[in-house]
Structure 1
Amino acid sequence: MNNRQGTETMTAKTRLAGLMMTLSFSSATLAQDLPVVEVFKSASCGCCGKWVDHLKENGFEVVAKNVDNVNIYKQQAKLPYGLGSCHTAFVNGYALEGHVPASDVLKLLAEKPAIKGLTVPGMPIGSPGMEMGDRKDAFQTLAYTEQGKVTVFTSH
Structure 2
Amino acid sequence: MNAQPMSRRMALGAGLAVLALPAWAAKERTTVQVWKDPNCGCCKDWVAHLEQAGFKVTVQDIGNAATRKRLGMPEALGSCHTAEVAGYAIEGHVPAKEILRLLREKPKALGLAVPGMPIGSPGMDGAIYQGRKDAYDVLLVAKGGATSIYQSYR
TM-score scaled by length of structure 1: 0.81
Aligned equivalent of 2:139: 142
Residue 110 (structure 1) aligns with: 104
Name stretches of at least 5 consecutive residues in structure 1 with no aligned partner.
1-13
Deviation per CA, 1:70-101, whole angstroms, max 9, x where unpaired? 21111012112311000000000000000000
- Kept in 2, the 8 Å contact 1:37–1:89? The answer is yes
Deviations 1:7-41 (A, max 9, x none): xxxxxxx9xxx887534263521xx3431000000
1:95-114 CA-to-partner distances (Å, cap 9, x unmatched) read: 00000000000000000000
Matches within 5 A, 1:38-53: 38-53=33-48
Alignment partners' CA distance in 2, 1:141 and 1:112: 16
- Are 1:89 and 2:89 counterparts? no
RMSD: 1.9
**What do the CA deviations read for 1:104-150 (whole angstroms, capped 9, x no partner)?**
00000000000001000000000000012211011110011121111
Say if 2:43 and 2:123, in contact at 8 Å, map to a contact too: yes
Change (3 A) 1:25 1:97: closer
Q: Is the 8 A contact 1:77 1:117 kept in 2?
A: no
Q: Distance in 2 between matches of 1:81 and 1:89?
A: 14
Name the TM-score, length of structure 2 as normaliser.
0.82
User: Is contact 2:68–2:75 with CA below 8 Å preserved after alignment?
Assistant: no
From the superposition, tell whether residues 154 and 63 of structure 1 become closer, same or farther in structure 2 (CA, over 3 Å). Answer: same
Percent identity (aligned):
45
Give 1:133's aligned residue: 130
Larger radius of gyration: 1
Q: How many pairs are equivalent?
A: 138
Give runs of aligned pairs for residues 41-80 of structure 1, distance below 5 A: 41-67=36-62, 69-80=63-74
* Corresponding residue SS for 2:77: coil
CA–CA distance in 2 between the matches of 1:47 and 1:125?
10
